[in-house]
C-alpha cells in the first residue's frame, strides 16, 4: 500500500524511538491513506509543510484493522494510550472498565488501521464516558471518519520494510484553512449531538451495570 505522512519536515527514514508513546494507538509512525488529508495534517500553520510518501508491503505484516471491530475496542485503545485528565470519578471509572474489558492486545501487530481521534473527536469520547451521549450517538459521529483513517506502523518489522518514495511540499495558505474547517465541522457536529434525544440509547453506565459485551452491542 502507498501511505502518506504529513509533517512540517521531510522524513526520509522513520525511526520508532523518535515516535511519541501517547498517540491514539501508542508509539508508532502515523500516516494517512488519503494524500489530501495528509496535506492537511502537514500544515500546523500557514507556513505549510511536507507530505512524505511511502510504500508499505502489506503481505509481510500483521495488520489490525479496528474498523472491523466494535466501537468500544477503539475507545479502549485510545484510553489506554492517551494521557487523559478525567473530570470526574464517573469518567475515570468508565474508562477503567472499558480498558479492562475491551482493549485488544495490540503488541503482536505490525500495523494498526483505524479512525483518527484528534482533540475535537476525543471530546465525543469524553462525553460518552460522562454519560452525556449514548453509544449510538458516538457511533454515528465517529464511523463516518470525517477526520480520516490513520495507519500506524508500530513494530520494528514495519519500520524495517517501509520504503520512502518521495516528498511534496504543501501550500499552507491552501491546506491550513482546510484543516481548521475540518476541525470546526467536527466541533459543530458535536454540539448538535448534545441536543439529540437520548431516549432508548445505551449509556456507558448501562454497559458497566449490566456487563453488556461487545457482541450484544453490535456497534
> Which pLDDT score is estimated for 152?
96
In our burial notation (b when 16+ CB lie closer than 10 A, e otherwise), range 139-171 reads bbbbeeebbbbbbbbbbeebbeebeeeebeebe
pLDDT, tens only, 180-208: 988 888 778 777 777 777 777 889 998 99
pTM of the model: 0.87
User: Which helix or strand (DSSP H or E) is residue 128 part of?
Assistant: helix 119-129
218 pLDDT higher than 70: no
Least Cα distance to 1 among 53, 57, 39 occurs for: 57
pLDDT, tens only, 158-178: 999 999 999 999 999 999 999
Residue owning grid cell 473527536: 121
User: Which helix or strand (DSSP H or E) is residue 64 part of?
Assistant: strand 63-65
Question: What 3-state DSSP class applies to 63?
Answer: strand
Amino acid at each position: 500500500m502507498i501511505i502518506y505522512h504529513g509533517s512540517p519536515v521531510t522524513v526520509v527514514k522513520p525511526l520508532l524511538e523518535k515516535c511519541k508513546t501517547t498517540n491514539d494507538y501508542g508509539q508508532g509512525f502515523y500516516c494517512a491513506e488519503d494524500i489530501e488529508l495528509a496535506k492537511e495534517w502537514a500544515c500546523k500553520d500557514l507556513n505549510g509543510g511536507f507530505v512524505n510518501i511511502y510504500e508499505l508491503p502489506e503481505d509481510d505484516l500483521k495488520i489490525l484493522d479496528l474498523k472491523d471491530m466494535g466501537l468500544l475496542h477503539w475507545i479502549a485503545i485510545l484510553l489506554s494510550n492517551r494521557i487523559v485528565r478525567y473530570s470526574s470519578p464517573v469518567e475515570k471509572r468508565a474508562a477503567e472498565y472499558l480498558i479492562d474489558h475491551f482493549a485488544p492486545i495490540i503488541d503482536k501487530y505490525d500495523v494498526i488501521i483505524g479512525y483518527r481521534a484528534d482533540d475535537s473527536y476525543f471530546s465525543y469520547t469524553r462525553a460518552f464516558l460522562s454519560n452525556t451521549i449514548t453509544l449510538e450517538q458516538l457511533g454515528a459521529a465517529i464511523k463516518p471518519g470525517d477526520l480520516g483513517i490513520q495507519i500506524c506502523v508500530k513494530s520494528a518489522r514495519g519500520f524495517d520494510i517501509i520504503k520512502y518514495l518521495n516528498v511534496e511540499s504543501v501550500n499552507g495558505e491552501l491546506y491550513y484553512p482546510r484543516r481548521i474547517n475540518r476541525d470546526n465541522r467536527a466541533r459543530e457536529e458535536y454540539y448538535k449531538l448534545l441536543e439529540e434525544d437520548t431516549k432508548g440509547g445505551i449509556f456507558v453506565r448501562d454497559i458497566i451495570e449490566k456487563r453488556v459485551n461487545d457482541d450484544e452491542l453490535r456497534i
